[in-house]
Structure 1
Amino acid sequence: MLGKYNRIMVPVDGSLPSIDAFKKAVHISKRNQAEIYVVTILEKTRDEEEAAYQQRSKEELHHALENYAEKENVSVSKNIRTGNAKQLIAEGLVKEWNIDLIVIGATGKGRIAKMVLGSVTNHVTRYAMCDVLIVK
């Protein structure tokens, strides 16, 4: 895409690469006066206690990221979703929020995440319907 970015999505899972991607997105947002959509995708679980713990943990993460953005005079929309991270990030949320840039960490918190490129990131770079910036 040439020109200005208006809507930036940043998937975060709490890993260092996802935090770095968020910080990069904040700076891109300042240059472009773009909106930032922070999203965390939770895996479905039948354990209600585990689901509640995941929800609280990610809300705390989002609060910390929001504080960082506020110090930079950037506002963010925070979202926690449950489902297939690959499909939601690459397709569903891009359409829903009219995203024109995804800023994503090279790897995430998955068990095998440290191998070359994370599976979610790999899928997003192949199938996203907008520009993708991978942050290492």
Structure 2
Amino acid sequence: MYQHILVPLDGSSNANEALKAAIDLAKDWHASLLLLHVTDINQFGGYARGLAYTEVIASMRENATELMTRAKELATAAGVTVTTANLEGAPKQQITDVANDAENGIDLIVIGKSGTNAFSRLVVGSTTTYVVQHAHPNVFVINDIAED
């Protein structure tokens, strides 16, 4: 059915559920996964760009690497072919750019319904909504599991 599945990850529980669903789909369809994390270094806007800024960005990059390593290990342990990409910029735009780039061959995006940045969703709308509206491949939106 689908051969190349894009899974955007941001460390949220909902993204983790999307990863689990994507792994199951990839196993069933013998598809490969492209796991994508976008570090939004622009979220600080015009704030001071001194040593503290540099340390925060370095920490964000380190967290992204750890997140992607764990996600790749999970998919690989399930027997799924996986590649990863860590990008920087606006998550909405980067996800749709990767999805729409013909060289990536993405034919399905599996994405969580909501992520980690509630403020961004309030001000500029959800990343998931943007991806659904602007990505060329089909988008499978995963709900987070309900807490007791």
Given that residues 121 and 127 in structure 2 are in contact (C-alpha distance below 8 angstroms), is that contact kept between their aligned partners in structure 1? Answer: no
Aligned equivalent of 2:15: 18
Looking at structure 2, the residues matched to 27 and 56 of structure 1 have their Cα atoms a distance apart, in angstroms, of 28
Give the alignment's Cα RMSD to 1 decimal.
1.7
Aligned equivalent of 1:104: 111
What stretches of structure 1 move > 3 A for 4+ residues in a row?
112-115
Deviations 1:80-135 (A, max 9, x none): 10112111212x101141211000000000024787xx610000111110100000
Given that residues 31 and 81 in structure 2 are in contact (C-alpha distance below 8 angstroms), is that contact kept between their aligned partners in structure 1? Answer: no
May I ask how many residue pairs the two structures share in their alignment? 130
For residue 18 of structure 1, report the CA deviation from its aligned partner.
0.3
Looking at structure 2, the residues matched to 67 and 41 of structure 1 have their Cα atoms a distance apart, in angstroms, of 19
Aligned equivalent of 2:94: 88
Q: Which runs of 5+ in 2 are unaligned?
A: 43-48, 144-148
Given that residues 37 and 79 in structure 1 are in contact (C-alpha distance below 8 angstroms), is that contact kept between their aligned partners in structure 2? Answer: yes
Q: 1:52 aligns with which of 52, 58, 67?
A: 58
Deviations 1:21-46 (A, max 9, x none): 01100111111111100011111254
Given that residues 66 and 75 in structure 1 are in contact (C-alpha distance below 8 angstroms), is that contact kept between their aligned partners in structure 2? Answer: no
Identity of aligned residues (%): 30
Looking at structure 2, the residues matched to 113 and 74 of structure 1 have their Cα atoms a distance apart, in angstroms, of 32
Looking at structure 2, the residues matched to 18 and 113 of structure 1 have their Cα atoms a distance apart, in angstroms, of 16
Give 1:1-16 correspondences, 5 Å limit: 4-16=1-13
Quick one: structure 1 residues 22 and 113, their matched pair in 2 at CA, closer, same or farther if it must change by over 3 Å?
farther
Q: Which runs of 5+ in 1 are unaligned?
A: none
Looking at structure 1, the residues matched to 120 and 82 of structure 2 have their Cα atoms a distance apart, in angstroms, of 26
Aligned equivalent of 1:36: 33
| TM-score, normalised by the number of residues in structure 2 | 0.81
Aligned equivalent of 2:127: 120
